[in-house]
Each structure stands twice: as C-alpha cells, then as structure tokens.
C-alpha cells in the first residue's frame, strides 16, 4: 500500500473596513512622534514549548491526536514535537497533517527554516515547510519527500527571498501518510527560523529555465509556470524549491503588447513582440517567454 497524499483547500474571506477621513481647507502632516506598528521578529517556533501566539490547526481528515509534546525523546532541552502517523485504515484519521500559524511575524532577518528530526523507522515525509496559514498563502514553501533516519539530523529549508516575508502567519506545516500502510512516529526539535549566513548562489528559474516563444492574439491570457529557486547550502548541496510567484518580480519588455502581473499572469493587449522575464531579489531568473502578437 503506497502512501496517500491529500491536498486541503480552505478559503478564508477577510472583510476589511476602510475609513477615509476628509479634511476641507487644510492637510495634516504625520507627526514626528508617531510610532508605526511593527511585527515581532521572533524566529522561534518550538524550543521546548510553543513560541507566543502559535496555534495547532490539523488539516481536515488528519488524525487530531497525531501531534503531542514529548518530554522523553528530545534532541536537546526539555521537550520535542512528536508526530504519530496513523496506520492505513485508522478510523480517527487517514494521515497526519497540520499547520502551525500565529498572528504574524517579520521574518526578513532570517534565511531558512531549520529543525532537527528523527523517526522510529527510516521514513520519508510527504510534504513539510512554511507559509501555510489557511489564507492566501502567497509565500508558501515546502519540500517534498524529506528523508528521515532513526538518528537526529539537522534539516534546512531555505527562504527564496527573505525580504518578502515582512508579515508571515504560516510558521510551519506538514502532511504525511502511512509508509507502505504502516504508521510510525517522528520527532522534530529546535524548530525555528535562523540566519545561517551560509546560503548562497541563488539560481531562480521560470518556465523550468526554458526560453519559450508563443504566437498569441490580443486578449490571450497565459500564466507563467515552472517557478523555482535553487540555493546552495554550507555542505555544498543544492536545494531546489518550488517557489510561488509572489517571490518573483515579473516584467514585460513592451507593456503595450503584453502585461504581466505580480502573480505571473500575462495578458496580451496589443500587436508586436514582448519578452516576459523575472527576478528574485535582483537575481535574473533563467527562462523567458517571448510573445509575438498579431
């Protein structure tokens, strides 16, 4: 029996009230004494206990009791996060999965999510990462098929562009099913965002790094896909992350021919030729889309 994998789509609608104050005859300038709101830059998620404001929200269909705090099996300190993946056919849930959001943090000082992990048997976690808060998830990043051993090991999931994470609620998420029908246990400890300073050689890509040409007519709409960011770690290995479009800055060489928005959606609006390219943190992405419009 192979592992099952579920995708949970949850829509959250936010209603924002906007109050416009109009003053006739004069304008007021902002006082120099005004202090603008800032968000916590605490990178801790679980260091012996939850960091302030963190929640535990299981996915629909997940076994609710899959997550507990363990004071016996730890990497260091007094406690770790324990995850009990159910057996196939468990009536209380077919898999283990949840998000751990909070009220929003500024993560621009960090370059990676890091943690130590081990499992009761050699296993592979389906998906694990950050940026999922049951909201828009504009900066959701995850790594697939994370291999665990029975010994503690440090894992690193880089951030494609930390400058984008000025207000992030999705601190951590995971989804895992039985291994060949059998449940098992894995532990995570020292879960936090860190500034490692050793993540280098960014190599972003759009359209899987290919230079493509399309003949399209005015009114055509196409979405840029094949988005990724590859980063080099201190041990010399490269990590390639499927990267949401919100991490990229897209541009069109001729906006009168084709316009591209911040989600990578291209709309052809006139005749001529336009090239769509992108960058992450000022680094040009491999791949481009040339549009010829008649």
Per-residue pLDDT at 32? 52
Query: Can you tell me the distance from the alpha carbon of 294 to that of 286, in angstroms, rounded to the nearest whole number?
Result: 27
Q: Chain centroid to CA 204: how far?
A: 15
pLDDT for 287:
98
Rounded Cα gap, residues 71 and 80, in angstroms: 6
**pLDDT tens for each residue of the chain, 294 residues long:** 444 443 333 333 332 233 223 333 434 454 454 444 478 999 999 999 999 999 999 999 999 999 999 999 999 999 999 999 999 999 999 999 999 999 999 999 999 999 999 999 999 999 999 999 998 899 999 999 999 999 999 999 999 999 999 999 999 999 999 999 999 999 999 999 999 999 999 999 999 999 999 999 999 999 999 999 999 999 999 999 999 999 999 999 999 999 999 999 999 999 999 999 999 999 999 999 999 998
Residue 171 and residue 130 in contact, taking contact as beta carbons nearer than 8 Å: yes
Q: Can you say how many angstroms the Cα of residue 201 is from the centroid of all Cα atoms in its chain?
A: 20
Task: Please tell me if the domain spanning 44-194 has the same topology as the one spanning 200-293.
Answer: no
The CATH architecture one would assign to domain 44-194 is Sandwich (2.60)
Rounded to whole angstroms, the Cα distance separating 12 from 16 reads 13
Using CA atoms of 276, 270, 254, 227 in order, give the dihedral in degrees to the nearest 10: -10
User: What's the rounded Cα separation, in Å, for the pair 236 and 92?
Assistant: 42
Q: Which residues pair with 194 in a beta bridge?
A: 112
User: How far is the CA of 169 from the CAs of 41, 104, 166, 190, 241, in angstroms?
Assistant: 12, 4, 10, 19, 20
- Note the pTM of the prediction, 2 decimals: 0.85
CA distance 207 to 277: 10
Domain boundaries, the chain: 44-194, 200-293
Fold of 200-293: Immunoglobulin-like (2.60.40)
Residue 26: its pLDDT value, please? 39
Distance (Å, rounded) from C-alpha 156 to C-alpha 264? 27
- Using DSSP, state whether 143 is helix, strand or coil: strand
- Give me the DSSP letters along 272-294: EEEEEEEEETTEEPB-EEEEEE-
CB of 193 within 8 A of CB of 172?
Answer: no
Report residue 75 as tokens. Answer: 């990497």
User: What three-state secondary structure class fits 162?
Assistant: helix
């Amino acid at each position: 029996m192979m592992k099952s994998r579920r995708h949970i789509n949850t829509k959250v609608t936010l209603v924002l009230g906007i109050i416009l104050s109009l003053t006739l005859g004069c304008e007021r300038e902002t006082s120099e004494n005004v202090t603008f709101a800032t968000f916590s830059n605490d990178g801790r998620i679980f260091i012996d206990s939850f960091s302030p404001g963190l929640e535990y929200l299981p996915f629909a269909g997940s076994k609710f009791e899959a997550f507990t705090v363990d004071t016996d099996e730890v990497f260091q300190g007094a406690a770790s996060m324990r995850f009990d993946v159910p057996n196939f056919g468990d009536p209380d849930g077919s898999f283990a999965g949840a998000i751990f959001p909070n009220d929003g943090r500024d993560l621009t000082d960090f370059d990676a999510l890091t943690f130590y992990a081990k499992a009761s048997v050699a296993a592979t976690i389906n998906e694990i990462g950050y940026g999922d808060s049951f909201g828009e998830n504009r900066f959701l990043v995850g790594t697939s098929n994370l291999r665990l051993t029975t010994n503690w090991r440090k894992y690193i999931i880089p951030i494609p562009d930390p400058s984008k994470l000025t207000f992030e609620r999705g601190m951590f998420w995971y989804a895992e099913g039985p291994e060949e029908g059998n449940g098992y246990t894995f532990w995570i400890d020292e879960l936090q965002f860190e500034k490692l300073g050793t993540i280098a050689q960014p190599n972003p890509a759009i359209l899987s790094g290919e230079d493509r040409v399309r003949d399209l007519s005015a009114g055509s709409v196409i979405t840029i896909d094949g988005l990724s960011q590859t980063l080099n770690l201190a041990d010399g290995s490269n990590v390639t992350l499927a990267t949401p479009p919100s991490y990229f800055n897209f541009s069109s060489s001729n906006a009168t021919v084709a316009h591209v928005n911040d989600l990578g959606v291209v709309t052809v609006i006139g005749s001529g030729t336009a090239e769509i390219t992108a960058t992450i943190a000022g680094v040009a992405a491999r791949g481009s889309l040339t549009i010829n419009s008649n």
